[in-house]
A and B are shown apart, each in its own frame.
Chain A
């Protein structure tokens, strides 16, 4: 059984903030396949396309038949822990600071043996299940869990290194006015977040769910307008050093593409909020978060972007909005690279049409705020980098992976699946 972590003590401002050191992020190109699968929390290995032999470690040719056709496939995660050790001395500073560290050899039911991190509750010599997750260097690593859940298992210190669990962490949700915000705040409160800051633009203007927000435990409503550089900088100056998870749910949505809009007014607003808003937040909050990746149990852990899945392929009925999300998506990749040295994860949550006023005329399925909130919190608990929420987003990414050009043509035929 794992010991439950306790609420972190108040930080001593005279103490030096521990620098984030990292496990080795060096990988061969083949091994990056594991990282790509880990971004979505999938346990995948190479399977020979010709003879079907499973391969591990990742490689360039099949060790049974020398075929170079080695596609990645989802693999049965069940196995047995056939050997283990507790590393107490490491040549790598990251591990040296975190010893004792449990690792083991798991013989997969599917065939190969894998070296992996081992959860404290995994029984010695017993059955385990493997998960594939991103470590602090942002690379995929294998991790053996007990076959069933155990009390407080999410608090295992090695597991908490590869997740961004909201428990005892301080969260900033950037737009109080969004229809998704009450569900988000409630989900974070339930997940044990210690403070939920909620940014409120244009506080003088009323909105229906403000009272509901104030009723959620640990919520603090703070002024924040992502289109105003001074406002973003001012809030970052106040709470940037204690923002552990930032959820950017500010967005500007209007229907329309190019020729059915007579001007660039909405397009400008879309870029101001959806693209430059992200840029402003990242410039103000990014450095402080990146510097606090190893700051104890309430270290900075994750940055969450809520993006339209049409960032991948333009939905002409919401064509300009899609374009602003494509810009934000591209910027999120840059942010990910810049946050990586600090061990802070950038999680993109891609959604199809959300169930709100601007998507009112669209047919179902639409993503309800509660579903979005669930996906975000569970994505953080799992330490994911890419989450596709709802059937529309899942369907679209599958089509995009099968062929982006085919999807582009398909998108022009749809009549407004929406954003």
Chain B
């Protein structure tokens, strides 16, 4: 808020570790519970922990119904003293981190397992869309039922006419991410994508075409939040949290979404991390459609408002490029596993700054920014979040 004088407390002594991904599948007969268990188990195993060691549990999922995080404790045999359920979709990774870090810092929990996962049944996407939120049910779903494709088509159409972006600009983001995904063995998309293929793809909801859309899949992602001394004692690679922000329902006065909540808080994020945009070795944006990644380049301070198209023309967004972006392929090429889409960037960034990203590793990556965006409650994404993390050596 304007005029605030007190400085926010840092996250000293709290770290992120044990990133885990349950490899995605297009459709699954299994449940969200099953997917969450897989990612949780993988994360704990990599840290040499058992479920009994977890005393904090944070969950993000759309398809747990009728359960919440509460039902999962009994289902999975956890006895946490700190429990959280984060219904923020694409913003949930950073938000989970923020809350868990404070819990660990305050001593309310020692080890918080943050997990996001969803299943994708043959008809579950349609079912979720029709009752996603009250405003969506009342005021967007009855209009063509195009779901997020149509909502983002409207934002993209407006962005293109306001700032002169052309489809090829968005194509640069998608093509680079596909290039990155080809190095990620878990990515759902396995074939190269050329600009001609991107431009020639069939229209889904003009100007959104096939390769602007994510593929809904089943999958799960997890990481642990714990004290630095515990991570070090266990011999785990870990990442520091340099700073974080979140904002909801920013700029309600804008007639259509032209920016996310990051624009309100980005200066605070850099100040908290004592960093500048140039210090970022890589960026993980929330990328359910390329237009929103472009808005993040702007709102996160990598270029000015409306300069996104020029920015992507000048920069190389691939792993080996001068601006590595969504290095695992992001949701556009690795797949969107429901709420795990809000975790994919965070889990990949933890791997990157701890030097454990394997085939997608950016050389010398020490500092990363992760941003989240979520919940088209009606006509725009309501939740936004971002964090800067660094490897232990920095």
**A binding-site residues for B, Cβ under 8 Å:** 23-24, 26-28, 30-31, 56-58, 63, 82-92, 94-95, 101, 103-105, 107, 113-117, 125, 135, 137, 139, 141
CA A92 to CA B206, docked complex, whole Å: 18
Identify the stretch in B51-59, B143-151, B235-243, B266-274 within 8 Å (CB) of chain A at 4 or more residues: B143-151
- In the complex the two chains form, is A141's CB within 8 Å of B142's CB? yes
CA A337 to CA B143, docked complex, whole Å: 22
- In the complex the two chains form, is B129's CB within 8 Å of A105's CB? no
CA A92 to CA B145, docked complex, whole Å: 6
Chain B neighbourhood of A27, CB < 8 A: 137-138
A102 to chain B, nearest CB (A): 8
Question: Is B49 an interface residue when CB atoms closer than 8 A count as contact?
Answer: no
Chain A neighbourhood of B144, CB < 8 A: 87, 90, 95, 101, 103, 117
Q: Which B residues, 51 to 78, have Cβ-Cβ distances below 8 Å to chain A?
A: none
* B140, B143, B161, B203: residue with the most chain A Cβ atoms closer than 10 Å: B143
Given contacts A23-B142, A56-B139, A103-B144, contact A89 B149 (CB under 8 A): yes
How many A-B pairs have beta carbons closer than 8 Å: the answer is 119
CA A106 to CA B140, docked complex, whole Å: 13
Residues of chain B at interface, number, CB under 8 A: 38
Question: Is B255 an interface residue when CB atoms closer than 8 A count as contact?
Answer: yes
Chain B neighbourhood of A95, CB < 8 A: 144-146
- In the complex the two chains form, is A104's CB within 8 Å of B154's CB? yes
* A–B complex contacts, Cβ < 8 Å, 26 sampled: A23-B145, A24-B130, A24-B142, A26-B141, A56-B139, A58-B138, A82-B255, A83-B256, A85-B207, A87-B144, A87-B146, A88-B202, A89-B204, A89-B205, A90-B145, A91-B125, A92-B141, A95-B144, A101-B144, A103-B143, A105-B256, A105-B379, A113-B255, A117-B143, A135-B142, A141-B142
Given contacts A28-B137, A57-B135, A83-B157, contact A92 B126 (CB under 8 A): yes
- In the complex the two chains form, is B157's CB within 8 Å of A85's CB? yes
Residue of B nearest to A139 (CB): B142
Chain A neighbourhood of B139, CB < 8 A: 31, 56-58, 114-115
Question: Is B186 an interface residue when CB atoms closer than 8 A count as contact?
Answer: no
Question: Is B252 an interface residue when CB atoms closer than 8 A count as contact?
Answer: yes
B319 to chain A, nearest CB (A): 32
* A56, A90, A113, A115: residue with the most chain B Cβ atoms closer than 10 Å: A115
Chain A neighbourhood of B146, CB < 8 A: 85, 87, 89-90, 95, 101, 103
- Beyond A57-B135, A91-B147: 20 further Cβ-contacts under 8 Å? A24-B130, A24-B142, A26-B130, A26-B141, A58-B138, A82-B158, A83-B155, A83-B256, A84-B157, A85-B157, A87-B146, A88-B203, A89-B146, A90-B145, A90-B147, A105-B255, A105-B256, A113-B255, A116-B143, A125-B161
Chain A neighbourhood of B131, CB < 8 A: 26
Given contacts A26-B131, A90-B146, A103-B150, contact A82 B256 (CB under 8 A): yes
Residue of B nearest to A143 (CB): B143
Given contacts A84-B157, A85-B206, A88-B204, contact A26 B143 (CB under 8 A): no
CA A391 to CA B270, docked complex, whole Å: 67
CA A33 to CA B378, docked complex, whole Å: 18
Question: Is B313 an interface residue when CB atoms closer than 8 A count as contact?
Answer: no
A112 to chain B, nearest CB (A): 8
CA A271 to CA B218, docked complex, whole Å: 61
Question: Is B81 an interface residue when CB atoms closer than 8 A count as contact?
Answer: no
A96 to chain B, nearest CB (A): 8
Please pick, from B137, B154, B204, the residue contacting A105 in the complex, using a CB distance under 8 A.
B154
Chain B neighbourhood of A56, CB < 8 A: 139
Given contacts A24-B130, A58-B138, A115-B379, contact A83 B147 (CB under 8 A): no
Question: Is B337 an interface residue when CB atoms closer than 8 A count as contact?
Answer: no
CA A11 to CA B210, docked complex, whole Å: 37
Chain A neighbourhood of B205, CB < 8 A: 85-89
CA A192 to CA B153, docked complex, whole Å: 38
Question: Is B134 an interface residue when CB atoms closer than 8 A count as contact?
Answer: yes
- In the complex the two chains form, is B138's CB within 8 Å of A85's CB? no
A408 to chain B, nearest CB (A): 35
Residue of B nearest to A137 (CB): B142
CA A63 to CA B158, docked complex, whole Å: 25
Question: Is B208 an interface residue when CB atoms closer than 8 A count as contact?
Answer: yes
Chain B neighbourhood of A114, CB < 8 A: 139
Residue of A nearest to B125 (CB): A91
- In the complex the two chains form, is B126's CB within 8 Å of A115's CB? no
CA A114 to CA B202, docked complex, whole Å: 27
CA A305 to CA B153, docked complex, whole Å: 42
- In the complex the two chains form, is B204's CB within 8 Å of A24's CB? no
Given contacts A85-B206, A91-B125, contact A141 B143 (CB under 8 A): yes
A147 to chain B, nearest CB (A): 19
Please pick, from B137, B138, B158, B378, the residue contacting A83 in the complex, using a CB distance under 8 A.
B158
Chain A neighbourhood of B129, CB < 8 A: 91
Q: Which 3 pairs from chain A and chain B are nearest by CB?
A: A92-B145, A85-B153, A57-B139
CA A359 to CA B134, docked complex, whole Å: 50
Residue of B nearest to A57 (CB): B139
A142 to chain B, nearest CB (A): 8
A304 to chain B, nearest CB (A): 25
Given contacts A24-B130, A91-B129, contact A85 B142 (CB under 8 A): no
Residue of A nearest to B128 (CB): A91
A107 to chain B, nearest CB (A): 4
- In the complex the two chains form, is B154's CB within 8 Å of A115's CB? yes
* B144, B150, B153: residue with the most chain A Cβ atoms closer than 10 Å: B144
Residue of B nearest to A141 (CB): B142
CA A116 to CA B144, docked complex, whole Å: 9
* A30, A82, A125: residue with the most chain B Cβ atoms closer than 10 Å: A82
Residue of A nearest to B149 (CB): A89
CA A398 to CA B208, docked complex, whole Å: 47
CA A114 to CA B140, docked complex, whole Å: 9
Chain A neighbourhood of B378, CB < 8 A: 57, 115
B207 to chain A, nearest CB (A): 7
CA A27 to CA B135, docked complex, whole Å: 9
- In the complex the two chains form, is B145's CB within 8 Å of A24's CB? yes
Chain B neighbourhood of A101, CB < 8 A: 144, 146
Given contacts A89-B205, A92-B126, A115-B379, contact A84 B143 (CB under 8 A): no
